[in-house]
Amino acid sequence: MIREVTQLSGMVQAPSLCIPVSRDADDDRVLAAAIAGHADIIVSGDLDLLSLGALENIQIVAPAEVIRLVRP
């Protein structure tokens, strides 16, 4: 699974968000990178990110949940 994630990932230059979104300002950088990279999903154990649930059609899920989403 890690090999597949590595093959699908890449680096992006992400501008700052126009307005704060997360309770934790550091998490806004993660969100900005996901938006800039056209991510489908953010996988995180961070409670501040998880509390958002989604942002701009990007799902934010815990690691255990992503396994259920990607396995048939």
What residues make up the domain containing 46?
40-72
Cβ-contact 54, 35 below 8 angstroms: no
Residue 6 lies in a domain: no
For the cut 90, the answer to whether the pLDDT of residue 29 exceeds it is yes
Indicate the Cα dihedral angle 40, 42, 48, 53, nearest 10°: 40
Residue 58 lies in a domain: yes
In 1-72, alpha helices (H): 2-8, 27-36, 47-50, 63-70
Tell me the mean pLDDT in the region 11-40: 92
Tell me the mean pLDDT in the region 6-34: 89
In the chain, the number of structural domains is: 1
pTM: 0.81
Tell me the mean pLDDT in the region 44-49: 96
Q: What percent of the chain has pLDDT over 90?
A: 67
